[in-house]
Structures are given as C-alpha cells and as structure tokens.
C-alpha cells in the first residue's frame, strides 16, 4: 500500500459522496480528490459561505449544504432533505481540544459533535447508502482506556485531551458495531475507519491553552505531513476494496506520516461489548436507531 497515490483512485463518475467538514483541511482535500475522479461531491458544512469558497476549488459540480453536527435538529434537517442514492458518506468533521462546553443538545462538545452527530447522521442517511461509510478517527484513541459510560459528558472531570480521545475511541467503536449490524442484516454496505496520522490542519492550533497551541505548532513543523497526505488513508478507505471494519492509517513510524495501510486498534477500540453498549447509549441520546431490517 505504501506506493498508493491519489491518481490511482478509480473512475467515480456517476457516484455521489457526502463529506462532512469539507470546507478545509482533510475534508477539503478528500472532496477535491473525489471530485477529480468524477464523483458528485456534497460538502456538508456548518458555514455555507466558507463551504462555497471551498467548493470553488473542487472539480465537477459540487454542492454545498448546511450541516451543524453539534445540533441534532440540523442533522435531522440535512438528512430529511436528502433524496436518492448515496454511494459514500465520509464522517470527517470534528472539533479538537476545545474548551469545556456543550452542544445545542447538552452533550460535551467533542462527544456530541465528533461521535453523536455522526452517529445520528449515519443512521438517518443509511437507507440511501449503497457502498460504504468512512469515519475519520485518530491515533489519540490510544490514550483513552475506555468510554466513561457513567459520565460521557465528563462533568467535573473535564480535560480537553481526554474528551477528544474519548470521542475518537467512540468513532472506532461506532464503526465496529455498525459493521456488525450491517453484516447481520446481509447488507453489502461497509463501515470503515481511517486516521490521518499527524497532519497539519487548523484543528491543532485551536486549543484555548497557549502552551498546547505552541506545542502543536512545534509538532506540526517537526513531525506533521500536510493535509493532502493526511487525507490519503480516508481516500483509500473510501475507494479501495477492503473488508468492513478495516482501519487505515499512515505506514510510517508511530503512524505519524506515510502512505495508507491497515493499522491496528487498541483493545478498548476492539471491544464488541463496549461497542454495543455505546450504540445503545447513542440511540438513547440521539433518538435515532439502526434503520435496516434483518433479512431472512
């Protein structure tokens, strides 16, 4: 896989892809690559004006639609407006190292946006999906021992790095349980995950802590690959023939940079019991459920 390049993406003419958070960084490079390959790309973004500016750089005839993953009403409105088939859903958007806060529905910002927003969006759009769902996770899931099921909002025990890591662990558990459910129903749709390694995007410099911001700036200069390279694992997961529940990341030392390859998860991210428990909790919190009936 190390020699794989963007120009090896197959012809995607006639296929439709939604990419959340596609107005900048990894999402924009993903949109540009899929558009170059002929896909009809929908940029699902919170700021429509920024989305339109980004869409001007995407080949083809991209669409821009408003989606605020921190607001379940917005998620429902976006999904309700969708008509027709959807080949690919890329759950890319996210927040990182944000100060303690709550989404419009009262969830901890990282957990509510990075996980619950995408959980609800996927369930609501799944009847339209024909090929696969790719969720962007992070190697920072390795620094979290498990989901705090008793206190997922981390009330009274908030640390930005812990909150972000928990949301990324949730992404991987979500993919694991989603694939189990898809397989159980006999669906051909696949759920996969990818992480960019250390990719220089605007996420790392948004921490409210000046020391963390400075550390990230130094790290970007020393270790990071650019966002275009960081998008490669997502693009590989989105376009290549891979088993469901595959996890892609860079093949370099410590998975910081390099070409896309299959990578491992922690034991916590591979726990089917925790994945089922998280799914049940997420259904309760979002009011959305897995929409596909069992076959046979």
pLDDT in tens, 24-33: 999 999 999 9
**Per-residue confidence (pLDDT) for residue 210, from 0 to 100:** 61
**Per-residue confidence (pLDDT) for residue 219, from 0 to 100:** 46
The answer to whether residues 58 and 27 touch, using CB atoms and an 8 Å cutoff, is: no
Q: Is residue 296 part of a domain?
A: no
Q: Which residues does residue 18 pair with via DSSP β-bridges, in sequence order?
A: 42, 89
Q: Is residue 251 part of a domain?
A: yes
**Separation between Cα atoms, residue 63 and residue 86, nearest integer Å:** 14
Q: Residue 154, exposed/middle/buried by CB under 10 A (0-12, 13-18, 19+)?
A: middle
Q: Mean pLDDT across the stretch 211-220?
A: 48
Report how many domains make up the chain: 1
**Per-residue confidence (pLDDT) for residue 252, from 0 to 100:** 86
Q: Is residue 75 part of a domain?
A: yes
Mean pLDDT estimate for the chain: 92
Q: Is residue 151 part of a domain?
A: yes
Q: Is residue 36 part of a domain?
A: yes
The answer to whether residues 231 and 197 touch, using CB atoms and an 8 Å cutoff, is: no
Q: Is residue 95 part of a domain?
A: yes
Q: Is residue 138 part of a domain?
A: yes
The CATH number of the domain holding residue 97 is 3.40.50.720
Catalytic residue among 158, 164, 236, 247: 158
Helix residue ranges, H only, the chain = 25-36, 48-55, 72-80, 109-110, 118-125, 160-185, 210-222, 227-230, 232-239, 272-286
**Which among 211, 177, 190, 204 has a CA at the least distance from the CA of 289?**
177
Check pLDDT > 60 for residue 116: yes
**Separation between Cα atoms, residue 186 and residue 227, nearest integer Å:** 36
Confirm whether 158 is a catalytic residue.
yes
């Amino acid at each position: 896989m190390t020699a794989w390049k963007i120009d090896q993406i197959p012809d995607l003419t006639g296929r439709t892809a939604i990419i959340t958070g596609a107005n900048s960084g990894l999402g924009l490079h993903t949109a540009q690559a899929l558009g170059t390959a002929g896909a009809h790309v929908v940029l699902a973004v919170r700021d429509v004006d920024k989305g339109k500016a980004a869409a001007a750089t995407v080949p083809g005839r991209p669409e821009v639609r408003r989606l605020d993953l921190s607001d379940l009403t917005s998620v429902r409105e976006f999904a309700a407006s969708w008509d027709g088939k959807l080949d690919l859903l890329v759950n890319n958007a996210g927040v990182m190292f944000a100060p303690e806060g709550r989404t419009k529905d009262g969830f901890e910002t990282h957990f509510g946006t990075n996980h619950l927003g995408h959980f609800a969006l996927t369930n609501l759009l799944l009847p339209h999906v024909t090929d696969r769902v790719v969720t962007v996770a992070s190697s920072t899931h390795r620094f979290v021992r498990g989901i705090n099921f008793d206190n997922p909002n981390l009330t009274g025990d908030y640390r930005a790095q812990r909150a972000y890591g928990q949301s990324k662990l949730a992404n991987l558990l979500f993919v694991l349980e989603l694939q189990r459910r898809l397989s159980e129903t006999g669906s051909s749709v696949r759920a996969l995950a990818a992480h960019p390694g250390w990719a220089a995007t605007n996420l790392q410099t948004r921490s409210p802590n000046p020391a963390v911001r400075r550390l990230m700036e130094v790290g970007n200069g020393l270790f990071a690959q650019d966002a275009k390279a960081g998008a490669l694992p997502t693009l590989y997961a989105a376009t290549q023939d891979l088993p469901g529940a595959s996890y892609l990341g860079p093949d370099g030392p410590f998975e910081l940079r390099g070409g896309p390859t299959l990578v491992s998860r922690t034991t916590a991210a591979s726990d089917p019991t925790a994945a089922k428990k998280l799914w049940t909790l997420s259904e309760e919190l979002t009011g959305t459920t897995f929409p596909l009936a069992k076959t046979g």
